[in-house]
Amino acid sequence: MTVIMDGKKLAQEVKAELKQRVEELWTSKQIVPRLAVILVGEDPASQVYVRNKRRAAEKIGIKTVDNLLPATVSEADLLDLIYEYNEDPNIHGILVQLPLPAHIDEAKVTHAILPSKDVDGFHPVNMGHLFMNMPHSLPCTPRGIMELLAAYGISPAGKEVVIVGRSNIVGRPMVALMLNADATVTVAHSKTKDLRAVTKRADILVVATGRPEMITSADIKPGAVVIDVGVNRLADGHLVGDVQRQTVEGVASYLTPVPGGVGPMTIAMLMKQTVEFAEKSEQDGY
């Protein structure tokens, strides 16, 4: 039997605990966590993500400061807005929804956010701290995966972990988190020779490629834990992951579903880091 890992349920538990922490923060310090959200343009997927984040924040008690900017906004104006929020002690986290229009340098925008307010965990300083096992802010999807594994009593220590995908958002920070958890880590990607031979070694397989159902039962070791990060919409409107659930289920010991697996945990971790930043800002005297 394959255990389907319920990320939606765990995310609800995380958010319930965060709601209590937000209430305690107000009672003890009169602080309301505030998250500045910047959305440039009208990309439909980005609008959905931002709306879901706003709803989650409202239920927890986090105040969102929404900025809906036209696709024509200049890079300089966007950077000025970020610098303004960097200096505002009442803003605890800054989120710039990606992707950005082609005329704006995403790296420059990411670097502009103060590391202490970088709720996405993408700033090079935060990435460096992560790889040194001194994390401050973590990319939300990898952090959500680690919390999901912990909730099901799955320790990466001593296990062989294969990560398929090497993006800065998932693959690379996932490597660091697994190394910090004492796993033996292999990264596979589009240039990997004999991918199946690599993935079949995995005790824990994390797949984040954006290629619908590319991993089948033939690609995994019986009993492996399979974490499917992909969210792909097919021509008929159905959402599927990077893993072919119908064949992998019954072979894997644990499997994250799409939807309802990693996705809800990503938003929960964004909320968690915003609350953590608000708690820490008081300690730092802001």
CA distance 202 to 159: 8
**Which among 6, 117, 118, 120 is annotated as catalytic?**
120
CA distance 145 to 122: 17
What 8-state DSSP symbol labels residue 223?
T
Residues comprising the chain, all counted: 286
Contact 241, 263 (CB under 8 A): no
Structure tokens at 260: 């309802």
Q: Find all residues with CB under 8 Å of 114, minimum gap 6, and list them.
A: 86, 94
Contact 9, 16 (CB under 8 A): no
Nearest alpha carbon to residue 96 among 116, 84, 112, 76: 112
Nearest alpha carbon to residue 165 among 191, 143, 188: 188
Run of H or E including 228: strand 225-228
Q: Are strands 254-255 and 3-4 parallel, antiparallel or unpaired?
A: parallel
Is 120 known to be catalytic? yes
**Which among 97, 219, 228, 272 is annotated as catalytic?**
97
CA distance 286 to 275: 14
**Which among 53, 117, 159, 272 is annotated as catalytic?**
53
Would you please indicate which residues are annotated as catalytic (active-site) residues? 53, 97, 120
